[in-house]
Structure 1
Amino acid sequence: MSTLRPRFAAAALALAGLLFLLYPAVRPWHDETTAAGAAASMGSSAWVAAHFFAIIGFILVPIGLLCLRTITPAIVFWIGSGLVLPYYGAEDFGLHAIATGKGDLLATVDAVRYQPVAITIFGVGLLLIAAGAILTAVAWWNEGGLARWGSLIFAIAFATYLPQFFTPAPVRIAHGVLAAVGCLAVAANLWRQARI
């Protein structure tokens, strides 16, 4: 295998890690159970930028996973990302447009967030992403060292992506750090393999 492919994969994962860190760090955190708090968070340009960081991160991870010896983790992660991205698009652009408009903001936000098909494909997508991350850890477990522990951190970060949505802002920001560390560790392993 040429060194270009693993280095490209490593760069994709490293950039994804940075974006997953920026997503909760840049996202505005106001009390979104109130109209004023929801408008302050969702109506800001930081809301749009933060959610866009997550969107690009979910696109980059499976690109990085294509360098694995087995293609299954990348395919599972890609399907999960495909199911997650429409929801992120609604969060990013739909809620921002609603927050900057007029009307009953909280009822409209709930209608976007909890529409049955949207929330179902989002949940299934996150479960597939968790499965893809776990398959990644399994694929690298026998390599030991950084590959083992980095892929374990990666798997934990993405396996806990769904439950972290139900935690307060500091936990979600810490989860962004965990996702960044996992992506960077897997990227470092790919980079190291490219030099061998």
Structure 2
Amino acid sequence: MSPKPVAAAFAAAGILFFVYPAIRPSGDDATAMASSAWLAGHSAAMVGFVLLGLAVLGLHQVLGDRLSLRAAAVTWAGAGLTLPYYGAETFGLTVIARRSLRDQAPAPMELAAEFRFGAVPVTMFAAGLLLLAAGTVMAAVSVWRSGTLPRWSGTVTALGFVLFIPQFFGPYPLRIAHGALVMAGGLWLAAAILNGRRGKPATGRTTG
């Protein structure tokens, strides 16, 4: 994969992770979950997770070291565990919320709570986000060691995913600020890849 698609994937993923909280309703009630903004915001996040996996895989092809390959594998595993929860939040909760509003009955929303806080889905969700944090930290270390990209250019993206779980417990403006942080990290790394690899062949290094 050439640097341009890799940079585009990082940039697009970062932008989508900002779009997610920016357009998602701040509440978690039936009205919010039934809205088109809920669907659009969560869909943006899901596409962002997919693009992040592709971007980290592309980063390995740019850097060519073993650590970036491990980072790609861990990031893909994290995205795989995270996406089922987001899929249910995006589509399942919307159906439940719309039925609740249509029937003017709050009882169906109890199903939403059962899913969102169930032991299995929450455990998968948390494990996926922890793996995404680990994968992006590994990618940042690989960038730091590369000698071809600015050392700090992967750190903001890594910080964004390290903070992905904690930001859920803050006020909603903090969640939007977190989205801006992830976007800044994606754009910075995209620019670093374009500028750092311009006119340079892939290193093909296999050292750990």
| Pairing partner for 1:8 from 5, 23, 39 | 5
- Runs of 5+ consecutive residues of structure 2 not aligned to the other structure: 200-208
Mapped to 2, the partners of 1:180 and 1:105 lie a distance apart of 35
Q: Contact (CA 8 Å) 1:165, 1:172: kept in 2 or not?
A: yes
Question: What residue in structure 2 maps to residue 161 of structure 1?
Answer: 164
Mapped to 2, the partners of 1:191 and 1:145 lie a distance apart of 11
Question: What residue in structure 2 maps to residue 95 of structure 1?
Answer: 93
Question: What residue in structure 1 maps to residue 120 of structure 2?
Answer: 117
Question: What residue in structure 1 maps to residue 203 of structure 2?
Answer: none
| Pairing partner for 1:39 from 22, 30, 37 | 30
Q: Contact (CA 8 Å) 1:51, 1:92: kept in 2 or not?
A: yes
Question: What residue in structure 2 maps to residue 26 of structure 1?
Answer: 23
- 1:137-189 deviation digits (Å, cap 9, x = unpaired): 11011357973222111110011111111111100000000000111111111
Mapped to 2, the partners of 1:133 and 1:21 lie a distance apart of 17
- 1:16-41 deviation digits (Å, cap 9, x = unpaired): 111001000000113x3xxxxx0121
* Count of aligned residue pairs for this structure pair: 187
| Pairing partner for 1:187 from 165, 190, 205 | 190
Q: Determine if the alignment matches structure 1 residue 54 to structure 2 residue 54.
A: no
TM-score for the superposition, normalised by structure 1: 0.90
Question: What residue in structure 2 maps to residue 35 of structure 1?
Answer: none
* Deviation beyond 6 Å, 4+ runs, structure 1: none
Which has more radius of gyration? Answer: 2
In structure 1, give the amino acid aligned to 2:192: N
Q: Contact (CA 8 Å) 1:6, 1:193: kept in 2 or not?
A: no
Question: What residue in structure 2 maps to residue 73 of structure 1?
Answer: 71
In structure 2, give the amino acid aligned to 1:177: A
Q: Contact (CA 8 Å) 1:133, 1:158: kept in 2 or not?
A: yes
Mapped to 2, the partners of 1:21 and 1:142 lie a distance apart of 28
Equivalent residue of 2:26, what SS? coil
Q: Contact (CA 8 Å) 2:96, 2:109: kept in 1 or not?
A: no
Q: Contact (CA 8 Å) 1:7, 1:194: kept in 2 or not?
A: no
- 1:90-113 deviation digits (Å, cap 9, x = unpaired): 110011111100341442221110
- RMSD value, Cα: 1.6
Mapped to 1, the partners of 2:173 and 2:46 lie a distance apart of 21
Mapped to 1, the partners of 2:20 and 2:149 lie a distance apart of 25
In the TM superposition, 1:107-146 aligns within 5 A as: 107-143=110-146
